[in-house]
Structure 1
Amino acid sequence: MDTMGMSDLQISLVVIGGAVVVGVALFNWVQQRRFRRSAEEAFGHKHEDVLLEPDVSIEEGGRIEPQLGKEVLQEFQTEMSVGIAEQGIDAGEAAEFPQADATPKVAVPILAEQKAIEAGGAGGIDYIVNIQSDALIAPSGLTAVLLRKFDFGKPVHWLGQRDSGASWEEITVETNEGGGGYTKLKGCLQMVDRSGPVSEVNLSEFFDMVKNFSTHMNAIADLPDIRHAHAQAVALDQFCAEVDVMVSINIISKDGGAFTGTKIRALAEASGLKLETEGAFSYRDESGAVLFSLNNFDSAPFLPDNMRTFTTHGVTFLLDVPRVKNGERVFDQMMHLAGIFSTTLGGMLVDDNRISLTDSGIVKIKQHLGSMQDMMRARNILAGGEISLRLFA
Structure 2
Amino acid sequence: MTDLQLGLLIASGAIVGAVYGFNWWQEYRYKKQANKAFSRNQPDVLLETPKNMVRSSTTGARLEPAVDAPRSEPLRNERLEPALSGASRVDFDLTEALPEDDLPPVIARTPAPAPQREPVQRVEQQRAEPARAQAALESEDVEVLATSQLDPKLDFVAEIHAGELIPAAEIPTLPGPKRVEIIGLNIDDQWEIVAPNSTSSFAELRIGLQLADRQGALTPEQLNAFCMGVQQFADDFDAVVTFPQRSSKLQSAQELDEFCAGVDVLIGLNLLAVTQPFPMEKVRALVDQAGLVRGPDGLFHYKSDSGKTLFTLANLNQKPFGPTSEGLTLLFDVPRVAGGIAVFDYLTEFAQNLAASLAGDLVDDNGKPLTSASLANIRKQLGGIYAQMDDRGIAPGSMAALRLFA
- TM-score of the superposed pair, with normalisation by structure 1: 0.62
- Tell me if 1:360 matches 2:373: yes
2:227 corresponds to:
207
The corresponding residue for 1:138 is 167
Mind listing any 5+ residue stretches in structure 2 that lack a counterpart?
A: 1-143
* Contact kept in structure 2, 1:123 and 1:379, CA below 8 Å: no
Structure 1 match to 2:192: 169
CA contact (8 A) 1:251 1:316 kept: yes
2:281 paired with 1:262: yes
User: How far apart are the structure 1 equivalents of 2:168 and 2:370?
Assistant: 60
Report the residue type matching 1:159 in the other structure. Answer: I
Following the alignment from structure 1 to structure 2, what is the Cα–Cα distance between the partners of residues 261 and 341? 12
Offset of residue 188 of structure 1: 0.8
Offset at 1:356? 1.6
Unmatched tracts of structure 1, length 5 or more: 1-114
How many residue pairs were aligned?
A: 261
Give the 3-state SS of the residue equivalent to 1:124 in structure 2: coil
1:285 has 2:304 as partner: yes
Decide which of 173, 177, 202 is 1:153's aligned counterpart: 177
How far off is 1:157 after superposition?
A: 1.1
Amino acid across the alignment from 2:184: G
Contact kept in structure 1, 2:310 and 2:332, CA below 8 Å: yes
Corresponding residue to 2:293 among 254, 266, 274: 274
Residue 188 of structure 1: SS of its match in structure 2? Answer: strand
Alignment equivalent of 2:350, drawn from 328, 334, 337: 337
- Match for residue 241 of structure 2? 221
Structure with bigger gyration radius:
2
Q: CA deviation at 1:389?
A: 0.6
Q: Deviations over 1:159-207 (max 9, x none)?
A: 11125x72211101111xx11x211110011121112122322211111
Which residue of the partner structure matches residue 310 of structure 1?
Answer: 324
Corresponding position: 1:230 with 2:250? yes
Pick closer, same or farther for the CA change 1:363–1:119 going to 2, 3 Å.
farther
1:373 aligns with 2:399: no
Shift of 1:325: 0.2
Q: Which residue of 1 aligns with 2:269?
A: 249
Preserved contact between residue 122 and residue 381 of structure 1 (Cα < 8 Å): no
Relative distance call for 1:342 and 1:122 in structure 2 (3 A) is farther
Change (3 A) 1:379 1:123: farther
> CA offset at residue 256 of structure 1?
4.1
Give the SS at the match of 1:130. Answer: strand
Q: Which has the higher contact order (CA 8 A, sep 6+)?
A: 1
Match of 1:324 among 337, 349, 366: 337
Change in 2 beyond 3 A, CA 1:321/1:125 = same
* Distance change >3 Å, CA 245–CA 122, structure 1 → 2: farther
Equivalent of 2:314, from 292, 295, 302? 295
Q: Does 1:391 align with 2:404?
A: yes
Asked if 1:351 is matched to 2:364, the reply is yes
Return the offset for 1:286: 1.3
The equivalent position to 1:239 in structure 2, one of 259, 265, 270, is: 259
* Cα distance in 2 for residues equivalent to 1:298 and 1:246: 15
Tell me, in whole angstroms, the C-alpha distance in 2 between the residues paired with 1:284 and 1:252: 24
User: Identity of paired residues, percent?
Assistant: 32
Deviation at 1:350, TM superposition (A): 1.5
Write out per-residue CA displacement over residues 25-51 of structure 1, whole angstroms, 9 at most, x where no aligned residue.
xxxxxxxxxxxxxxxxxxxxxxxxxxx
Cα distance in 1 between the residues matched to 2:194 and 2:149: 23
Q: CA RMSD of the aligned region, Å?
A: 2.3
Match of 1:353, SS?
Answer: coil
- Name the aligned partner's letter for residue 182 of structure 2: W
What residue in structure 1 maps to residue 206 of structure 2?
186
Given that 1:122 and 1:379 are in contact with CA atoms closer than 8 Å, whether structure 2 keeps it comes out as: no
Corresponding residue number in structure 2 for 1:75 = none
What is residue 80 of structure 2 aligned with on the other side? none
Check the 8 A contact 1:123/1:236 in 2, yes or no.
no
Q: 1:122 to 1:172 in 2, by over 3 A?
A: closer
Paired with 2:329 and 2:155, the residues of 1 have a C-alpha distance of 35
| Matches for 1:26-41 after TM superposition, within 5 Å | none
Q: 1:326 to 1:156 in 2, by over 3 A?
A: same
Cα distance in 1, alignment partners of residues 297 and 261 from structure 2: 24
- 2:156 equivalent among 110, 127, 141: 127
Q: Distance in 1 between matches of 2:156 and 2:313?
A: 36
Give the TM-score normalised by the residue count of structure 2: 0.60
Deviation at 1:228, TM superposition (A): 2.7
Matching residue's letter, 2:388 = M
* 361 and 139 in structure 1: CA distance in 2 versus 1, 3 angstrom threshold: closer
CA shift at 1:299, angstroms?
Answer: 4.2
Which amino acid in 2 is paired with 1:330?
V
